[in-house]
Amino acid sequence: MKAQTELFWSRFRSAYPAANREPFDVFRVGDTDESADGGADLIVSGTKTATSSLPEELVDIGIPFPGALSIVIDGKDRPRAIIETTEVRRRPFGEVDAQFAHDYGEWDRTLGTWKARNGAHYRAVCQKLGVEWHERRELVCERFKVVFSDAAHPAPSRSMNHG
């Protein structure tokens, strides 16, 4: 974990001492710096409260679980929020519903757009992983809430007093 992320986690732990566990994951939304910035903004604002992954993408970290705390970073690797997983469901891509697409918080928040954009994304991911893409491919669908953010808990400013 980078120093600024460790400091952010430390500030969170100071504010919430009962959260006496390590972060489950440190992650950014999307594949580009721009999408990571936009995704972090959507999460901090409360617009984005859901995400999804192929199980194959989670091999190194494991499947998230309710109560897991993760740190969201932006495109410059700056920590923006700490989220708590509230629900995890495994379901086929083709069975994702309109409410999940809305809670995903991106684009126009409709199921049609969610399926078109994520279908293209997961097709590319499957190709990289060497697995077949189809609408029955299982996703890990996660819901979360923000429990700490840079907007609600800005870092203390340094004093400019020279005494």
Chain segment 11-33, per-residue pLDDT in tens: 999 999 999 899 999 999 998 99
What pLDDT digit, counting tens, does each position of 85-136 carry?
999 999 999 999 999 999 999 999 999 999 999 999 999 999 999 999 999 9
Average pLDDT, the chain: 94
Spatial separation of the C-alpha atoms in residues 51 and 104, rounded to whole Å: 6
Spatial separation of the C-alpha atoms in residues 110 and 161, rounded to whole Å: 52
**Closest-CA residue to 23 (of 1, 42, 49):** 1
**Domains of the chain as residue ranges with CATH:** 3-91+138-149 (3.10.400.10)
Contact 144, 83 (CB under 8 A): yes
Per DSSP, the residues of the chain read --HHHHHHHHHHHHH-TT--S--SEEE-SSSSHHHHHHHHHHHHHTS--EEEE-GGGGTTT----TT-EEEEE-TTS-EEEEEEEEEEEEEEGGG--HHHHHHH--TT--HHHHHHHHHHHHHHHHHHHT----TT-EEEEEEEEEEEETTTSPPPPPP----
Query: How much is the average pLDDT of 133-159?
Result: 88
Q: Is the pLDDT assigned to residue 156 strictly greater than 80?
A: no
**Closest-CA residue to 80 (of 131, 151, 129):** 151
Query: How much is the average pLDDT of 152-163?
Result: 57
Q: What is the percentage of the chain residues whose pLDDT exceeds 90? A: 89
pLDDT of residue 153: 81
Q: Is the pLDDT assigned to residue 139 strictly greater than 60?
A: yes
> Please, which pLDDT band fits residue 163 given cuts at 50, 70 and 90?
very low
pLDDT of residue 106: 97
Question: Whole-prediction pTM value?
Answer: 0.92
**Closest-CA residue to 22 (of 39, 36, 43, 5):** 5
Contact 122, 140 (CB under 8 A): no
Q: Is the pLDDT assigned to residue 144 strictly greater than 80?
A: yes
Q: Is the pLDDT assigned to residue 68 strictly greater than 50?
A: yes
pLDDT of residue 157: 56
Determine phi and psi for 23, rounding to 5 degrees.
Answer: -65, 140
Query: How much is the average pLDDT of 36-47?
Result: 98
